Structure 1
Amino acid sequence: MTEVADNTPVIIGVGQYSERVGEPGYEALSYMDLGGRALAAAIADCASGANVAGAIDTLAAIRAFEMSRPDRAPPFGGSDNVPRSFARRVGADPARAILSTTGGQYNQKLVGEFAEDIAAGRSHCTAIVGSEAISTVLALSAKGEKPDWSEEVGGELEDRGYGLDGMLEPALFAHGASGAIPLYAIAENARRAKLGKSLDQYRRDIGELFAPFTKVAAANPHAAAPTQRSAQELATITDRNRIVAEPYARMTVARDQVNQAAAIILCSADKARELGVPQSKWVHIHAVTSATELELSQRPDLAANPASIASVERALEIAGKRMSDMAFLDFYSCFAIPVFNQCDHFGIAVDDPRGLTLTGGLPFFGGAGNNYSAHAICEAVQRVRNERGSYALVGANGGWMSKYATGIYSTDPADWSAGERLTELPKARNGAGRSTEPFGEASVESYTINHGKNGSLAVFIGRNPAGERVVGNADLSDEPTRALFEGGEPFGAKLIVTQGEGGRNIGRVG
């Protein structure tokens, strides 16, 4: 390997840890214990005879899902200083402890931030750790058990807050689109409308996209659902594979019932040499870019996500590479549309021989809260180590295609002396006009029917007569309206709208 400048940031260790409820060796570990195991695995991966834990001066914890909104709290309690709880489990005592914001893009964004800190001499060794124990929480709660996972660690903590700006849209939430599934489904149906496909045809497309993901998950020891499935099985609606929100069948949405943790350790080349980390372990960070999208109801094209495309394109440009140069790809796959958007733009076939996931994807490997892409980065590091000189691209997504971060990794050295490998792109300013005033009619642009415990709810985004974006519910108690929406083709339909209980906009076919 060419001599690398002392202040060059390199990834020296990655680690993953997981357990599945009821399987041999299952310990019902807490968030903190899972994260500690992953960090210990990352330290071991460094293959250093020195005290790597003692060298960590900065440790960032990825905010767990149950800590990701101000109105929620971990049901079994948690740590008052999550990063220091992770650190304590491996004997680390970092000067700086960080709790991340919410968002699946943030772990990769932190890789870029810490790489820049290392290049500038502000840090010498950093760690990023995230964990989720949602499956264990659900299993123990179902049995009436409530262990105490609270920890009082104290110490300095840099809490970056929830970071929910641009992700909470009051009009959509008020009409029942208050979570990821219905919001992505609205975007997905907008893409379906552009393609002129029926619900059955489009579900088949999703099945063909995700069937190869299940093969990868089936071979991954950390996968939450390691079962290979056919495209037909994924697309066929059954009691077990019911519709959760049109057009999504249950098997094709992110699986949050996981017990998974991942950790990444970065340091300067000088520190890596001091610690005795073999250069065969070093992986270079060639680019990290991030971008923020307009709110869903503002997007000129409800099906499009230009911020994610711009992030990937800029990362490739910084790395001096093309998409065809990437030997390994992991596109964030909480739902089909973030993957489809990349495939559509870059002309990548769903059966591309490289594959589109390194883990098995969020519906099958598991949607490890805000930390999924840390697992993808761990896999990317191992792949490029095994195929030296190759390049891996990881696309990390947050919110409802709200934020995106792209990373490019290789064992080929990356020169950070110019300080241009980390970029945050400007937010678009071409948002569609919106109205929260009462309106009497609307034309439907996209929709979903959200199926929950309390019945079905149709949510639409459309335009009022002034051309402004509006949100409402289709009245499924009205037979013509129900038939139109359940038939899957309400696009362009004119609805007569009245204001119902709580100020909700209720639309019926005129």
Structure 2
Amino acid sequence: MVVSNPPEDRIPVIVGVGEFSDHPKELTAGLEPLALMIEALKRAEQDSGAKLLKDIDSLDIVNFLSWRYTAPEKQLSEKLGINPKHAYYGPVGGESPIRYIHEAAKRIARGESQVAAITGAESQGTATKVERAKVDLPWTPFAKDAPEPLRGANYQKPMATKLGVAKPVTVYPFYEAASAAHWGQTPREAHRESGELWSRYAGVAATNPEAWIKKAYTPDEITTPTPDNRLIAWPYTKLMVANPMVNQSAAILVTSLAKARAAGVPEDRIVHIWGGASAEEPRDYLDRDQYVESHAQNAVLKVAMDLVGGSGRNFGAIELYSCFPCVPKMARRTLGLGSDVQPTVTGGLTFFGAPLNDYMAHAACAMVRKIRAGTKTGLLYAQGGFVTKHHALVVSKDAPKQPLAQDTNVQADADRNRKPVPTYVTEASGNGTVESFTVIYGRGGEIEHGVVILRTAANERTLARVPVQDQATLAFLMDPDKTPVGSSGAISTAGDGVLEWRKAP
């Protein structure tokens, strides 16, 4: 079957990328997200070598949490003097920048758009310092009537919230422990892999002009707890989690190939969008079948590999989402890549910085520069929520062999591999087997308590606490040379009604 090439006004290409990092000399001189996005868009236009901002007919804004606006897509459009047919401000999700690029490309392929802009920004570094200093900012007034973004604790089970395992930094450790045990690693071996992987992210950030932290940390510096690198939730230290205290913005301009050439974009600036896929896990992590892999992650990465001949080794460069080490560790195994993988072109959410939902917009900028410099194909893999939302996108200097697909949701493939989900219960007794666990630390470095996900004798799932007084069980959980996953112990009910677990004698 011969596939005809689409006309150039239906071929989507990335033509401009722009980034900005705001390091104000005075606290109140820090820029708000709207101003940061405008700066990034101007830089993206300059990068393209053509006048394109006035022709934007599609605008997607990544959700920001450091400041709240009423209809930010309208406010930004007004400031730019544009009236796009498509103007969208999306929900929380670290995958959203890649999804928006992909959706913009599909609109161009359908003939609905010719110039699309994707942008986002955060000013959390300034906003946090200002709140602590109790001073006012000369920003657009905070929109108290705007909807509050829906975040994890809003939809997790009450016991998860009560035990402190309803936010990313305390949920991802469950995947870390379970996956390491599944791969046959001791906790020490898994921790070493995380440190070596994170050190590679840090090394790239050290050379990225837009990175927030430009230090090439060693694996031991990353994994060893110190007063400046405290444990947050076992086994993750501060240098192993995302750093949101940044002021950063990014913008990507996507046009049709016809528009790019008509506007005078130099050919060496043009990067083609080959395609990708999206899929999700159940929103509540306690409603999933297991914590050793993500079926949604596997499904979207398989589509990406199929676009380059079926192997992850065929990518010239990759960006694996890096909020916590378990995510790229799972992804590199699905891609068939070794432990020596170079997982980033950007620097990672710890070291480059994590402008909350917008990191992957920066990753797209870095990947475009990499492709322009001679790398043939690149993979952008993004993730959001609690290993929840997944999106992969393949970009290349070369034109794709097939027209851009419109049906890119692979949820059915993800769901097909899902095993039965255990019933969640809040009452249990008898023996419980550890499915996964973490230990939560206070800001002073002290242990607050442990949390275990258990399977009961009836194969039901429940959450239980390990109180700080039970030093023997806590030491058992954190033994670096033997995983507690799969171990049995006694379930009891404490005076406050919370289930507790103690290791078997």
Distance of aligned partners of 1:478 and 1:162 in 2 relative to their CA distance in 1, 3 Å threshold: closer
Contact 2:15 2:265 in 1 (8 A): yes
Secondary structure of the 1:317 match is helix
| Cα deviation, residue 164, structure 1 | 6.7
TM-score normalized by the length of structure 2: 0.89
1:403 maps to what in 2? 389
2:438 maps to what in 1? 448
State the one-letter code of the partner of 1:333: S
State the one-letter code of the partner of 1:124: Q
Distance of aligned partners of 1:171 and 1:314 in 2 relative to their CA distance in 1, 3 Å threshold: farther
Does residue 15 in structure 1 map to residue 53 in structure 2? no
Of 472, 490, 493 in structure 1, the residue corresponding to residue 484 of structure 2 is: 490
Structure 1 unaligned spans of 5+: 67-73
| Cα deviation, residue 253, structure 1 | 1.1
Contact 1:216 1:360 in 2 (8 A): yes
Contact 1:127 1:264 in 2 (8 A): yes
Aligned length: 489
2:197 maps to what in 1? 209
CA distance in 2, matches of 1:40, 1:151: 24
Distance of aligned partners of 1:449 and 1:37 in 2 relative to their CA distance in 1, 3 Å threshold: same
Secondary structure of the 1:487 match is coil
| Cα deviation, residue 259, structure 1 | 0.9
Tell which deviates more after alignment, 306-315 or 458-467.
306-315
1:107 maps to what in 2? 97
1:36 maps to what in 2? 38
What whole-Å deviation, never above 9, does each CA across 1:32-55 have from its counterpart, x for those lacking one? 11111111111111101x4x1221
Does residue 413 in structure 1 map to residue 399 in structure 2? yes
Q: Which runs of structure 2 are paired with 1:112-261 in the superposition (5 Å)?
A: 112-150=102-140, 162=150, 168-261=156-249
Contact 1:58 1:127 in 2 (8 A): yes
Contact 2:439 2:447 in 1 (8 A): no
Does residue 372 in structure 1 map to residue 359 in structure 2? yes
Tell which deviates more after alignment, 427-436 or 276-285.
427-436
Of 344, 365, 371 in structure 2, the residue corresponding to residue 357 of structure 1 is: 344
Contact 1:298 1:431 in 2 (8 A): no
| Cα deviation, residue 417, structure 1 | 4.1
CA distance in 1, matches of 2:494, 2:64: 37
What whole-Å deviation, never above 9, does each CA across 1:457-506 have from its counterpart, x for those lacking one? 21111101100111111123234333323436433333333334664222
| Cα deviation, residue 224, structure 1 | 1.2
| Cα deviation, residue 143, structure 1 | 2.0
Distance of aligned partners of 1:356 and 1:237 in 2 relative to their CA distance in 1, 3 Å threshold: same
Distance of aligned partners of 1:509 and 1:161 in 2 relative to their CA distance in 1, 3 Å threshold: closer
Of 300, 312, 316 in structure 2, the residue corresponding to residue 323 of structure 1 is: 312
Of 275, 281, 285 in structure 2, the residue corresponding to residue 296 of structure 1 is: 285
Distance of aligned partners of 1:319 and 1:204 in 2 relative to their CA distance in 1, 3 Å threshold: closer
Contact 1:79 1:149 in 2 (8 A): no
Contact 1:21 1:139 in 2 (8 A): no
| Cα deviation, residue 21, structure 1 | 5.3
What whole-Å deviation, never above 9, does each CA across 1:112-148 have from its counterpart, x for those lacking one? 2111111111222111111111111122222221315
Of 73, 81, 106 in structure 2, the residue corresponding to residue 91 of structure 1 is: 81
Among the aligned pairs, what percent are the same residue? 27
1:463 maps to what in 2? 455
State the one-letter code of the partner of 2:493: Q
Contact 2:313 2:336 in 1 (8 A): no
| Cα deviation, residue 169, structure 1 | 4.2
Does residue 504 in structure 1 map to residue 494 in structure 2? no
Measured on the aligned residues, the alpha-carbon RMSD in Å equals 2.8
Secondary structure of the 2:9 match is coil
Distance of aligned partners of 1:464 and 1:152 in 2 relative to their CA distance in 1, 3 Å threshold: closer
State the one-letter code of the partner of 1:138: T
CA distance in 2, matches of 1:164, 1:117: 31
CA distance in 2, matches of 1:505, 1:498: 6
What whole-Å deviation, never above 9, does each CA across 1:57-83 have from its counterpart, x for those lacking one? 1211100134xxxxxxx3xxx321212
CA distance in 1, matches of 2:170, 2:499: 17
CA distance in 2, matches of 1:339, 1:491: 21
Contact 1:244 1:450 in 2 (8 A): yes
CA distance in 2, matches of 1:503, 1:275: 67
CA distance in 1, matches of 2:159, 2:92: 21
Secondary structure of the 1:132 match is strand
Secondary structure of the 1:270 match is helix
Does residue 63 in structure 1 map to residue 63 in structure 2? yes
State the one-letter code of the partner of 1:371: D
CA distance in 2, matches of 1:451, 1:30: 33
Contact 1:104 1:371 in 2 (8 A): yes
What whole-Å deviation, never above 9, does each CA across 1:252-309 have from its counterpart, x for those lacking one? 1111111111111112222223322223222111012111124433443312123112
Contact 2:153 2:167 in 1 (8 A): no
2:322 maps to what in 1? 333
Distance of aligned partners of 1:501 and 1:130 in 2 relative to their CA distance in 1, 3 Å threshold: farther
Tell which deviates more after alignment, 159-168 or 170-179.
159-168
What whole-Å deviation, never above 9, does each CA across 1:302-330 have from its counterpart, x for those lacking one? 12123112101112214545322211111
State the one-letter code of the partner of 2:21: S
Secondary structure of the 1:477 match is coil
State the one-letter code of the partner of 1:99: Y
| Cα deviation, residue 161, structure 1 | 7.4
Distance of aligned partners of 1:424 and 1:42 in 2 relative to their CA distance in 1, 3 Å threshold: farther
Secondary structure of the 2:220 match is helix
State the one-letter code of the partner of 1:304: E
CA distance in 2, matches of 1:193, 1:462: 15
State the one-letter code of the partner of 1:468: E
Tell which deviates more after alignment, 377-386 or 429-438.
429-438
CA distance in 1, matches of 2:161, 2:246: 26
Contact 1:234 1:249 in 2 (8 A): yes
Contact 2:120 2:250 in 1 (8 A): yes
2:469 maps to what in 1? 477
State the one-letter code of the partner of 2:475: A
Contact 2:95 2:390 in 1 (8 A): yes
| Cα deviation, residue 196, structure 1 | 4.7
What whole-Å deviation, never above 9, does each CA across 1:369-411 have from its counterpart, x for those lacking one? 11111111111111111216x0010110111111110010012
Secondary structure of the 2:10 match is coil
Structure 2 unaligned spans of 5+: none
